[in-house]
Structure 1
């Protein structure tokens, strides 16, 4: 349990630091493309502008950290109940805020510090209440369902995001969160890991669900960063990444709390999600979701909050 918690915390640190760098790269690209009219007819970033955002050095370094975080998060998902591992990883929102104080010289408000305190307290409550993780063994049909749902969410969601354009920040955030949540479930049920069996691994639909959900989630994550202030999109991402995987873990994978600790586990989970949402919400700018120009002051830390 302790090793799993430390692994999840390390994944959260990688994700939080990477998010700041990815946001810087995405917004730098968005400023250039806005000047060059690199937008769709609906006002959102086109495929070319999104690709250029990915090629900035800040985004590349942030993505490397994301891959490291993914590996650590995958280990945590195999060692902890999903409601605990996914919630700890989602606390990267708080880590991003704290890092922003040091790296960007931003002063957090009392409401933001209070929200951070709620998240930290909730994580302690969750860690205390969490029992051993379930087996993760599920029928192969469940793996096919996960692949089908991942393809539907990522492909259909991408089309809708393109149609919504500049209004798609919240929707893109929710879809990216669901993608990362599906990725966590896929890692948990993946065959051929323990014991290692390459044939079983390559023939498991869950492996391809991981690839689809991870790639689609990263793309939608980038689009949400380009559109502007994360605001409600960040809150939606947290909900998508934690609530559904946590429910799947309890209902289908056998995750459970310690005997007699069911209510503390539920309370810790709810408080952690609510606190993360509050961190994003209270840190959102009041002036709308516009991309600042070069003369504008540096963005608030929670404009940078992402997965």
Structure 2
């Protein structure tokens, strides 16, 4: 249990740091697009184009953040096999706290009191979950379930990509939520993957769960990048937390046999609900701040100070906010 918790905490640190570095890279790319009067950075609905997302992905900050994401993935995969999913996914999702702390330093964001309070709620919920967690289930499931996981991963990532491109700048929280569902499917896939223990390459390559992991992981990273481009970094990450935590936690209990300590089921349920509620609150307050800043700054030609997550738009030319909607 201790090794699993330490692994999950390390994965959370990698994911949280990676998210902020990716946000820095996304914003830097957006500034360059705006400065060059590029008209290819957005779709007709106002969302980021594939080319603008690709340009964001080749900034050095984004690449370092991606490396940290891969390290976090490896650590998270190990934690998913050592802990119940409702615990491992929630601890990993505490990267929200790290994201918020680092965004103050690297993105110039000033968090509001409600955001700090919401983050404190998430931390308290993690303590409840760690106290209540019992042994993880076996993870052995019929192969039909692996095929269903692959189909669900394709539907979430494929359908989500299409919808996000249609909704444009209004899809930040939605993109964060779908990326979280992708990462949640990844965690479930790692848990049920055949051919790992003991290692057997033909079983591994023939397992649909392996391809569900690839689809959900790569697609989740893409949708998260889009969310960072068009919305509040804390709001997008909080929405990711909800998607990454709720569905895997429920599947872990109902499908994989995860359980709490005897007599602590109510503590686990309380901790789970409070963690999700805290993450939703961070997303709500962060997105409200971003919209307030957009409404108050309008088309001003000089940067204007803002509060909360709105500081992400300060220092960015009005042309970038009005045309690109990246980093606002």
**TM-score over 0.5 for the alignment?**
yes
**Structure 2 match to 1:138:** 141
Task: Give unpaired runs (5+ residues) of structure 1.
Answer: none
**Structure 2 match to 1:72:** 75
Match of residue 293, structure 2, among 276, 282, 287: 287
Q: What is the rounded CA distance, in whole Å, between the counterparts of 1:301 and 1:14 in structure 2?
A: 22
Q: What is the rounded CA distance, in whole Å, between the counterparts of 2:201 and 2:270 in structure 1?
A: 40
The verdict on how the C-alpha distance between 1:271 and 1:260 changes in structure 2, with shifts beyond 3 A counting, is same
Tell me how many residue pairs correspond in the alignment.
304
**Residues 40-59 of structure 1: matches in 2 within 5 Å?**
40-59=43-62
**Structure 2 match to 1:39:** 42
**Structure 1 match to 2:315:** none
Conserved in 2, the CA contact under 8 Å of 1:170 and 1:232?
A: yes
**Structure 1 match to 2:326:** none
Please list the CA deviations of residues 33-71 of structure 1 after superposition, one character each: whole Å capped at 9, or x if unmatched. Answer: 343122111111111111000001110000011011111
Q: What is the rounded CA distance, in whole Å, between the counterparts of 1:3 and 1:226 in structure 2?
A: 35
The verdict on how the C-alpha distance between 1:41 and 1:110 changes in structure 2, with shifts beyond 3 A counting, is closer
Q: What is the rounded CA distance, in whole Å, between the counterparts of 2:151 and 2:113 in structure 1?
A: 44
**SS state of the match for residue 178, structure 1?**
helix
Conserved in 2, the CA contact under 8 Å of 1:16 and 1:96?
A: yes
Task: Give unpaired runs (5+ residues) of structure 2.
Answer: 313-328
Q: What is the rounded CA distance, in whole Å, between the counterparts of 1:299 and 1:190 in structure 2?
A: 45
Is 1:154 aligned to 2:157, yes or no? yes
Q: What is the rounded CA distance, in whole Å, between the counterparts of 1:278 and 1:167 in structure 2?
A: 18
Q: What is the rounded CA distance, in whole Å, between the counterparts of 2:8 and 2:130 in structure 1?
A: 12
**Structure 1 match to 2:7:** 7
**Residues 219-234 of structure 1: matches in 2 within 5 Å?**
219-230=222-233, 233-234=236-237
Query: What CA RMSD, in Å, does the superposition of the two structures yield over aligned residues?
Result: 2.4
Q: What is the rounded CA distance, in whole Å, between the counterparts of 2:177 and 2:112 in structure 1?
A: 26
**Structure 1 match to 2:26:** 26
**Structure 1 match to 2:241:** 238
1:96 is displaced (CA, Å) by: 1.5
TM-score scaled by length of structure 2: 0.86
